[in-house]
Amino acid sequence: MNCTACTAPLTTSAQLCDACAHGLDVRLDELPVYYLLLADRLQPGAARGDGPVALVREAPLPVRVDVLTMRAEGGMVSVLESWREAMQDARGWGRPARVGTIERRVQAAARGLRINLDWIAAEFPGAADMAREIRHLARQANALLDPAPGVLRVGDCAADLGGGDICGAPLRVPAGAASIRCRLCGTDYPPHTWMTLATGAWAPPTGAAA
C-alpha cells in the first residue's frame, strides 16, 4: 500500500503518509493567518516602505483584484469549506454551518479539517486531492503576500518537511538582506545557497536548515 498523495510506501493501511499528513496540517494551520495578512495587501502600494507613492496617488487603483478574489466568497473560504463538507459527508455527518464573517468561516473550516486530520489521513478517499489542493492554495496565498518592489524572488523552498514532502513556498530576498527565511516552514538559507536555489538545482537540503 502506498500514500495516495506522494506514493511513498506505507507500513499500515492509510490514505496519506505521515509526511503528507503533517504538510497538510501545517498548511491548514497557516491558511487563516494568510487570510488575515492578505487584508493588508488589498490596496496597491499598501505595505510598501518607500514605494512610488506619487505614482500611486496619480493613478490610484481601488483594489488588487487577485487579493480580493482570494479573500472573497469563492476563494480560500470556499476551498476549505467544500473540503470540510466532503469530509463530513464521507463520515455520514451533516453539513457544517457556514456562519459569520468570511474570516470566521476560514478559521472554522480549517479547524474543522485539522481536528479530523487523523481520520482524513487514515480513511478519507479524497485525502490525496485535498492535500494537493490545499498545498496549491497555500502557495497561491503566500505568493500574493509579497509584491513589494526591490524584492527578488529566488526560487522555491527546498526544505523537506519530512519523508519527501517538499515545502515549495516561494522565497524572496529583500534588498540588502543577508539571509532568506522561508515564511512557511522557517528554514534559513544563507547567501551561499541562493544561486543553487535560483537555478532549481537543489540537492537534498542537508545543512540548509541552520
Q: Which residues here bind Zn ion, judged by CB under 5 A? A: 3, 5-6, 8, 17, 20, 157, 159, 167, 169, 182, 184-185, 187
Query: Toward Zn ion, which CB reaches closer, 7 or 60?
Result: 7
Nearer to Zn ion, 67 or 159 (CB): 159
Q: How far apart, in whole angstroms, are the C-alpha atoms of residue 191 and residue 123? A: 43
Our CB check for Zn ion shows the closer of 99 and 203 to be: 203
- CA–CA distance, 141 with 80 (Å, rounded to integer): 13
> Minimum distance between the CB of residue 184 and Zn ion, rounded to whole angstroms?
5
* CB contact set of 115 (below 8 Å; sequence gap of 6+): none
Least distance in angstroms from the C-beta of 175 to Zn ion: 21
Q: How far is the CB of 69 from Zn ion (least distance, A)?
A: 25
**Tally of CB atoms within 10 A around 21:** 24
**Between 67 and 158, CB nearer to Zn ion:** 158
107/187 with CB nearer Zn ion: 187
CB-based burial of residue 147 (10 Å sphere; 0-12 exposed, 13-18 middle, 19+ buried)?
A: middle
Which sign does the torsion angle of CA 94, 95, 100, 103 carry?
positive
Q: Least separation, in Å, of the C-beta of 2 and Zn ion?
A: 8
**Smallest distance from Zn ion to CB 64, Å:** 24
Burial of 98-128, coded b for 16+ CB within 10 Å and e otherwise, reads beeebeebbbbbbebbeebbeebbeebebbb
Strands 188-189 and 180-181 come out as: antiparallel
**70 versus 185: smaller Cβ distance to Zn ion:** 185
State how far the Cα of 198 lies from the Cα of 77, in Å rounded to an integer. 32
- Asked whether the beta carbons of 120 and 14 are under 8 A apart, the reply is no
Burial class (CB in 10 A: 0-12, 13-18, 19+), 148: middle
Q: How far is the CB of 136 from Zn ion (least distance, A)?
A: 15
